[in-house]
Structure 1
Amino acid sequence: MSAAPTWGLVVETTLGTGERKHTEAQVLAHVTGSREEALAELERRARSYSPTHPLSPRRRRLLRVGDGFLLVVDGAWQSFVTRFTVAELLTDSAAPRAPAPEPEPLPEPEAGTAPGPVAEAAPPAPAAAREPELDADGVPVRPAWLGRRDLS
């Protein structure tokens, strides 16, 4: 069985004004699961997103597009757009290394044989390898992004 895909929640927003107006992109978060789960989280973030520009918003419109959402905010003089996109993560050069596989357990000694050297207890599995604790609805109690240092 293959692992669930990881989705990047990307925001592209307009910065600056006039001749210096430009678009910058950043990955807000990663969601592991279905595309629908990632889109739901992206919509939640898009609805509460507060862009830097315009300083005096007059109208705010959130539109759904095939792979995400568009937020159009009209200011006193100009309109500014923020694009929210969900995209499947294929590679990440800064991803944490996968945990090393755990060693095979030693077989139990047969009855009547002399015990051999005592094997050391295996250290607990790293947090990434443990199954997440789920509430009654199957939702992780601790979000996967909590504690990640690569998210701003």
Structure 2
Amino acid sequence: MTIWGLVIETTVGVGERKHTEAHVVAHLSGSRAEALAELERRARSHFPEHPRSPKRRRLLREGDGFLLVVDGAWQSFVTRFTVAEVLEDSAAPAAPEPVEASSTPVASASEQVEQVEQVEQVKQVERYADGVPVKPAWLGRHDLP
């Protein structure tokens, strides 16, 4: 099955420091039409950082995606949404190895209930009155730089 990358190229900065940055925001497997539909959903709901006071917003469809032009008081800012087939990814996760049904141990009902209770305990997070977690989710993670 084909894997599609959803790419957003947007104008950042202002004045002489204004430039374009590109980000792959998602990967989808499926048809190109499905990827374009998701890309259109994201383009319609996207509100770029600049301009701070938009005067006019235009969303245009092009061959492989969409172009969002937002006019500000002094300048226009552009965001390009593109769908592209992923041909190579040096940081892609390894494909999981198939597991044979006979080698997979089946957990008993009591073990399954215990596993669900452990997951529910993990989900319970201490929060302030306004709902903000007391401890940030990223604190203590070793997979972050």
Deviation of 1:98 after TM superposition, in Å, equals 1.3
Matched with 1:122 is 104
Q: 1:29 aligns with which of 23, 26, 34?
A: 26
TM-score using structure 1 length: 0.66
Runs (4 or more) in structure 1 with deviation over 3 Å come to: 101-105
Matched with 2:116 is none
Residues 47-86 of structure 1: matches in 2 within 5 Å? Answer: 47-86=44-83
TM-score using structure 2 length: 0.69
Take 2:20 and 2:69, find their aligned partners in 1: how far apart are those partners? 14
Matched with 2:36 is 39
Question: Higher mean Cα deviation, 88-97 or 54-63?
Answer: 88-97
Q: 2:12 aligns with which of 11, 15, 29?
A: 15
What is the DSSP-based 3-state SS (H/G/I as helix, E as strand, rest coil) of the residue aligned with 1:38?
helix
Q: 2:89 aligns with which of 78, 92, 103?
A: 92
Q: Over residues 30-88 of structure 1, what are the superposed CA-to-partner deviations in whole Å (9 max), with x where a residue is unaligned?
A: 11100000000000000000101001000000000000000000000000000000000
Q: Over residues 65-122 of structure 1, what are the superposed CA-to-partner deviations in whole Å (9 max), with x where a residue is unaligned?
A: 00000000000000000000000011111111112233596xxxxxxxxxxxxxxx42
Take 1:25 and 1:76, find their aligned partners in 2: how far apart are those partners? 24
Take 1:123 and 1:31, find their aligned partners in 2: how far apart are those partners? 31
When the two chains are superposed, the root-mean-square deviation of aligned CA atoms in Å is 1.6
The 1:30–1:74 alpha-carbon spacing in structure 2 relative to 1, beyond 3 Å, is same
Matched with 1:128 is none
What is the DSSP-based 3-state SS (H/G/I as helix, E as strand, rest coil) of the residue aligned with 1:19?
helix
Identical amino acids, percent of aligned pairs: 74
Structure with greater Cα Rg = 1
Take 1:65 and 1:26, find their aligned partners in 2: how far apart are those partners? 19
